[in-house]
Amino acid sequence: MNKISLAAKYLTRRKSRACLILIVFLVINIMAFIIISIRESANDALAKLDQKPLDYFYLESQYETDPKTVKAEGSSISFLSVPHEITDEVIEKIKSIHGIKAYASHYAFLSGMLSDKNGNPLELAAYNIPVSKDDAASIRGVSDSDLYLGSTIKLTAGRHITPDSKREAMVNVQFAKQNDLNIGDKLAITTPDHTPGHTSDIEVTLSGIYENTDNVDETEFSPSELSENFIYVDYSTAHALDDRNQGIISVKFFVDQPDQLASIYAQAQKLDMDWNKYYLFDEADASVIDADAVKAVSNQFSVLTAVVILAGFLIITFVLMLQTKMRTNEIGILLSLGFTKNRILLQHIIEVMIPAGISIAAAYFIGDHLISSERFQITVTHIQMVTTLQIIAINLCLLMASIWISSARLLHTTPKAIFQKNN
């Protein structure tokens, strides 16, 4: 009778022991899958931050309350914050700094309802939030979508918006699929004016379809705040839709050499401008902070991984020591019948590997379900192959070490010593 059959028969006879080992391994492996996956997610995010040195900075508009929009309703007061327009003069001042090679700008944020060429309303994406036909998409004007949006989006079809674009729009790939849109389709954008009874209605051509490269948890956002509902348009379209003539609110400046970024940024800060209306934003500082935070998360989960492995090793070793002690007579009989110690040890290994293997498979599916759920929303949305291989290696190491420690002392004795001790 082969060793696997013997192991299966033993596990069948000792169901309680087999279930105990299975449960212990299952809990440990589920925790290991989740913890290691989160650690891998943090490492992936860190790798992305380290991929390329930054070669740009932003000039952003300050917002202030528009007195014309203040409304008092009972005890509450509502108002609209409006940005200060970034003028061509301001842009030219920064652009003239030696070492700046290009720039791209972003128009003020707008909102609008979208419909197809037949006048049928287009459906917005939403998570856990009901969508009505009156929900507006976020309309965003950009001078150059490739330059300004950079690595945050990836074009999947069509072309980017450029300074020469007229009445063109780019939509998210999910939005396009949801509404069966293709390159060249005509869309109508209707924006409610802040003047009662007035709307602007503009027809645009779908020139590009993009997908987001950033994985952001947007499950609690309103439909207009979801990146799937961001509609990028050219400047002429944005200006035509903007009833308040807000203009440019953000400019992204690019430098010739990334190592010059800090110096050029410092020069821009010293320019004679009304800094009550504008502020500079250096994403390099933010990326350093992000990198430090990600490293801290990675280190924490590395420590947590080690703790889980150590705890698993101690628990499994303790369980196997108890099991081996209860099988002392059995081991003595097998030794007296001529069974080698290595054969007995191998049999014990197989008996533990069967529930361990089952637990790994079960833990994989449970862990993968948990990781891909809204509870986690990490960059690694499913368990990777490398993580599975790590878990298998960890289990094998735990098994070998635990079985050796729990069985070594007993297997170094003779059948006579075993029976004398028991008697």
Q: Where are the domains of the chain?
A: 3-47+290-422, 54-284
Helix %, strand %, coil % for the chain, to 5?
50, 20, 30
One-letter amino acid at 400 equals: M
pLDDT band at 254 (very low <50, low <70, confident <90, very high): very high
344 close to 329: Cβ distance less than 8 angstroms = no
Structure confidence at residue 271 (pLDDT):
92
Structure confidence at residue 299 (pLDDT):
73
Residue 154 CA from chain centroid, whole number:
16
Q: How far, in Å, are 218, 255, 373 from residue 360 at the CA level?
A: 32, 51, 20
Could you tell me which residues are beta bridge partners of residue 209? 157, 171
Structure confidence at residue 417 (pLDDT):
61
Closest CA to 173 of 208, 147, 145: 208
Residue 245 CA from chain centroid, whole number:
36
pLDDT of residue 422 exceeding 60, the answer is no
pLDDT of residue 288 exceeding 50, the answer is no
Rounded to whole angstroms, the maximal C-alpha distance in the chain is: 101
Averaged pLDDT score across all residues of the chain: 78
Alpha helices in 15-143 (DSSP H): 15-49, 88-95
pLDDT of residue 156 exceeding 60, the answer is yes
- pLDDT tens, position by position, 295-329: 666 677 778 878 887 887 888 888 778 777 777 66
**Strand, helix or coil at 257?**
coil
pTM over 0.75, yes/no = no
pLDDT band at 93 (very low <50, low <70, confident <90, very high): very high
User: Rounded to 5 degrees, what angle do the CA atoms 198, 199, 201 make?
Assistant: 150
395 close to 313: Cβ distance less than 8 angstroms = no
Could you tell me which residues are beta bridge partners of residue 60? 250, 279
